[in-house]
């Protein structure tokens, strides 16, 4: 009986400490805007894409990785696939798919402020903005 009581008290203590740890650990974000913070457009570019080609649409953050808040990419005639690093290249079956005629804000806390490459399924002009 004494062992069971000790086990229950120990388990309750460990659960309590685990809960406290989870409550006080803040998630780490890199370059993200705080909720309610206004962002301004740092750059805005129209990028002409040929059909079935890979092109770098953002070389890197113009304001440095600590100040970039988001990349806003707008498509027109066709879907694109995107990669947000220098390691992989997008293609017809790889990368993040962004449908035609959409505008998506890619938050820096998730996608970073590094190089952005795009693969377009048809010739079109992408509208690319960086906010900070």
pLDDT for 77 equals: 86
pTM over 0.85: no
Residue 22 main-chain phi, psi, to 5 deg: -65, -40
All residues at 6 or more sequence positions from 107 whose CB lies less than 8 Å from its CB, including other chains? 32, 33, 69, 70
* Domains of the chain, earliest start first: 41-131 (2.60.120.770)
Angstrom distance (rounded) from CA 96 to CA 73: 12
pLDDT per residue as tens, the chain (132 positions): 778 888 888 888 888 777 766 666 655 555 555 667 778 888 899 999 999 999 999 887 554 445 788 899 999 989 999 998 888 889 878 889 999 999 999 988 888 888 899 999 999 999 999 988
């Amino acid at each position: 009986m004494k062992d069971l009581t000790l086990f229950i008290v120990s388990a309750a203590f460990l659960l309590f400490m685990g809960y406290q740890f989870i409550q006080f650990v803040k998630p780490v974000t890199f370059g993200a805007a705080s909720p309610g913070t206004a962002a301004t457009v740092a750059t805005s570019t129209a990028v002409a894409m040929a059909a079935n080609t890979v092109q770098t649409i953002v070389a890197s953050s113009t304001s440095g990785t600590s100040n970039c808040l988001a990349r806003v990419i707008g498509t027109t005639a066709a879907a694109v696939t995107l990669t947000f690093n220098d390691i992989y290249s997008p293609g017809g079956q790889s990368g993040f798919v962004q449908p035609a005629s959409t505008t998506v804000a890619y938050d820096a806390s998730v996608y970073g402020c590094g190089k952005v490459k795009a693969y377009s399924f048809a010739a079109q002009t992408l509208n690319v903005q960086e906010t900070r």
